[in-house]
Amino acid sequence: MTDKIQETIIFQETLPDIKEYWNLFQTTGWNQEYHFSIKDLANAIQNSWYSMSIYDSDKLIGFGRVIADGVHHALIVDLIIHPDYQSKGLGSKLLDKLVSKCKKNKIRDIQLFSAKDKYAFYEKFGFEKRPINAPGMQLRNN
């Protein structure tokens, strides 16, 4: 990250304005499959156990959140960095802050969803792919 950009970057433990989050979420392409409304996303992020927003001055450029019971299980979701700010170390800093919050609260099991092409990024932080025979299933409600 250049010094000029670094000076204007702010990490905040606050939920962003929903319109700003909506615009950031749209940069991921995820909504082509999910078809969420802005109200759906507002409800989702408000129900987070912990969240972190990243701003460049007053522009939302990153966001991540944790869904958790606060004791045993945590799931890191919606780790988003605006495409114009990717590959500058912001995703790494954001993930570190989310994981640190979980560890500080002694949460035993930290999981996350990852796109196939992002495994290497998360492995740098100690995350491992679940073995093919590992327990776990999902029910998709399409």
Low-confidence residues of the chain: pLDDT under 50 = none
Return d(Cα 113, Cα 140) in angstroms, integer.
Answer: 14
pLDDT for 66 equals: 97
Q: Give the model's pLDDT for residue 118.
A: 86
109-112 vs 73-81, strand pairing mode: parallel
Instruction: Return the closest-CA partner of residue 38 out of 56, 55, 21.
Output: 21
Domain edges within the chain: 3-123
| Cross-sheet strand order for the sheet of 109-112 | 9-12, 50-56, 59-68, 73-81, 109-112
pLDDT score of 122: 92
Cβ-contact 76, 66 below 8 angstroms: yes
Report the CATH number of the 3-123 domain: 3.40.630.30
Position 113 scores a pLDDT of 82
Record the pTM. Answer: 0.89
Report the pLDDT value the prediction gives residue 79, as an integer from 0 to 100.
Answer: 96
pLDDT of residue 94: 98
Task: For residue 64, give every residue at least 6 positions away whose Cβ sits within 8 Å of its Cβ, in sequence order, or none.
Answer: 51, 52, 76, 77, 78, 79, 80, 94, 95, 97, 98
